[in-house]
């Protein structure tokens, strides 16, 4: 791997780490967007030079979706706001939760998920975004409720070969899928529980607080989900879900990542419970399954041995495309750990940051 960059979005700014030695060491630059939350970051490598994005927010001055074509040296804010609800919709973007480049076949398409629950699409590489009206007009929307972090659309999954097949994940509305390019959307939550509802209402059509969904591009029909109490797999692209949490110390957590080269290998970072958002037994451990969730193993070599009380949030775990694959996670303690051997061993590559909200990594040269 040549030049790799790791974008580290935190509660109070953005740090960019660079590695030129196949991810053995990482150098960080100046902290950017001071005192502003960076809930979403993205690297779009479909063009040369690559474009990196940041969804930046201030508690006072509103959200900003900005990009850089020089790997973060300078940032562009379009004259017209890149993202915003249309006039008359009576809604305004509170936070940009996700920035997701589409497939290589649509090199200018970028999706953005925001709060309140909405999806935007750009056809000009992020210069401007338009509301995906089909989801906004979905008849279920008035019944969607916010999760603990807000009414967020936090995950966008574009089918690798069918650009009309897109899935979104929202807290607390659950998984929705369109097969017609966004004109119509259907919930895809069958089998996912909403453990916080009355017992006879725990499997609703929608309303689940699904925290993250991931898939491998070689197997787009298979999805993995980390739910608000529950870890699941679907073999039919969300048609139904089966629990795969046996062997985990807890079924609560936020993050979930699929290995870039092994479709059966997944990672998560369990937390004890929604009211105890700490690693089980206060042990800093990533869990890995190499058989699509049939069994799990803890990974802790190189991770802190002292009691650890920091959580990993939904977008703070990623994998790179290296060989062997690198896996990264950032914690609410402001630390970033990296493995360059698929999770067998770990080392800390950044520390003393504000709590980590978002990570993305890519080879850029």
Partner 1 sequence: MTSRLLLPAALRRYAGERAEVEINSGTLGAALDDLAERLPQLERRLRDEQGRLRPHVLMFVDGVSVRTGAPMETPVPDGVEVFVAPAVSGGNR
Q: Interface with partner 1 by CB under 8 A: which residues?
A: 11-12, 35-37, 58-62, 77, 79-81, 84-85, 87, 89-93
- Considering the complex, state which of residue 57 and residue 174 has its C-beta at the smaller distance from partner 1: 57
What gap in Å lies between CA 346 and CA 255, rounded to an integer?
17
User: From the CB of 78, what's the least distance to partner 1, in Å?
Assistant: 9
What gap in Å lies between CA 220 and CA 237, rounded to an integer?
7
- Considering the complex, state which of residue 87 and residue 200 has its C-beta at the smaller distance from partner 1: 87
Helices (H), the chain: 133-136
User: From the CB of 170, what's the least distance to partner 1, in Å?
Assistant: 21
- Considering the complex, state which of residue 35 and residue 73 has its C-beta at the smaller distance from partner 1: 35
User: From the CB of 199, what's the least distance to partner 1, in Å?
Assistant: 34
318 half-sphere exposure, CB direction, 13 A CA radius: 23
What gap in Å lies between CA 231 and CA 251, rounded to an integer?
6
> Any residues with CB less than 8 A from the CB of 73 and at least 6 apart, and which?
none
Task: Tell me if 241 sits within 8 A of 278, measured CB to CB.
Answer: no
- Considering the complex, state which of residue 91 and residue 364 has its C-beta at the smaller distance from partner 1: 91
User: From the CB of 114, what's the least distance to partner 1, in Å?
Assistant: 11
User: From the CB of 59, what's the least distance to partner 1, in Å?
Assistant: 4
User: From the CB of 62, what's the least distance to partner 1, in Å?
Assistant: 5
Please count the other Cβ atoms lying within 10 Å of the Cβ belonging to residue 278: 16
List the structure tokens of 37: 């939350």
* Angstrom distances, CA of residue 144 to CA of 24, 98, 153, 321: 44, 18, 11, 35
Name the burial class of residue 55, with classes exposed (0-12), middle (13-18) and buried (19+) by CB atoms within 10 angstroms of its CB.
buried
- Considering the complex, state which of residue 61 and residue 139 has its C-beta at the smaller distance from partner 1: 61
User: From the CB of 84, what's the least distance to partner 1, in Å?
Assistant: 3
What gap in Å lies between CA 316 and CA 331, rounded to an integer?
7
List the structure tokens of 59: 């508690």
CA angle, 356 then 85 then 111, to 5°: 55
- Considering the complex, state which of residue 4 and residue 119 has its C-beta at the smaller distance from partner 1: 119
- Considering the complex, state which of residue 84 and residue 238 has its C-beta at the smaller distance from partner 1: 84
């Amino acid at each position: 791997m040549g030049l790799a960059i790791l974008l580290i979005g935190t509660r109070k700014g953005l740090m960019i780490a660079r590695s030129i030695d196949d991810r053995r060491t990482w150098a960080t630059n100046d902290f950017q967007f001071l005192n502003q939350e960076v809930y979403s970051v993205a690297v779009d490598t479909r063009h040369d030079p690559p474009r990196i994005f940041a969804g930046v927010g201030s508690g006072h001055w509103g959200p900003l979706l900005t990009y850089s074509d020089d790997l973060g040296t300078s940032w562009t804010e379009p004259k017209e706001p890149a993202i915003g609800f249309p006039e008359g919709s009576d809604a305004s973007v509170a936070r940009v939760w996700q920035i997701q480049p589409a497939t290589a076949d649509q090199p200018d398409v970028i999706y953005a998920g925001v709060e309140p629950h909405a999806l935007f699409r750009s056809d000009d590489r992020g210069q401007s975004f338009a509301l995906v009206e089909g989801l906004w007009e979905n008849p279920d929307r008035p019944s969607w409720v916010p999760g603990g972090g807000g009414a967020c659309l936090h995950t966008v999954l574009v089918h690798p070969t069918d650009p009309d097949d897109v899935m979104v994940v929202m807290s607390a509305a659950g998984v929705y899928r369109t097969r017609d390019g966004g004109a119509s959307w259907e919930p895809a939550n069958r089998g996912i529980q909403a453990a916080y509802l009355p017992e006879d209402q725990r499997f609703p059509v929608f309303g689940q607080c699904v925290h993250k969904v991931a898939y491998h591009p070689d197997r787009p029909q298979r999805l993995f989900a980390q739910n608000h109490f529950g870890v699941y797999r679907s073999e039919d692209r969300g048609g139904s879900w089966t629990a795969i949490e046996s062997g985990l110390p807890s079924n609560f957590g936020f993050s979930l990542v699929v290995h870039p080269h092994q479709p059966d290998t997944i990672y998560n970072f369990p937390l004890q419970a929604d009211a105890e958002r700490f690693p089980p037994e206060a042990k800093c451990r990533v869990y890995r399954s190499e058989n699509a969730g049939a069994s799990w193993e803890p990974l802790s070599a190189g991770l802190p041995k002292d009691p650890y009380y920091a959580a990993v949030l939904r977008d703070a775990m990623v994998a790179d495309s290296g060989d062997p694959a690198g896996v990264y996670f950032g914690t609410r303690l402001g630390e970033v750990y990296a493995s360059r051997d698929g999770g067998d061993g770990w080392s800390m590559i950044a520390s003393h940051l504000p709590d980590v909200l978002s990570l993305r990594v890519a080879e850029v040269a």
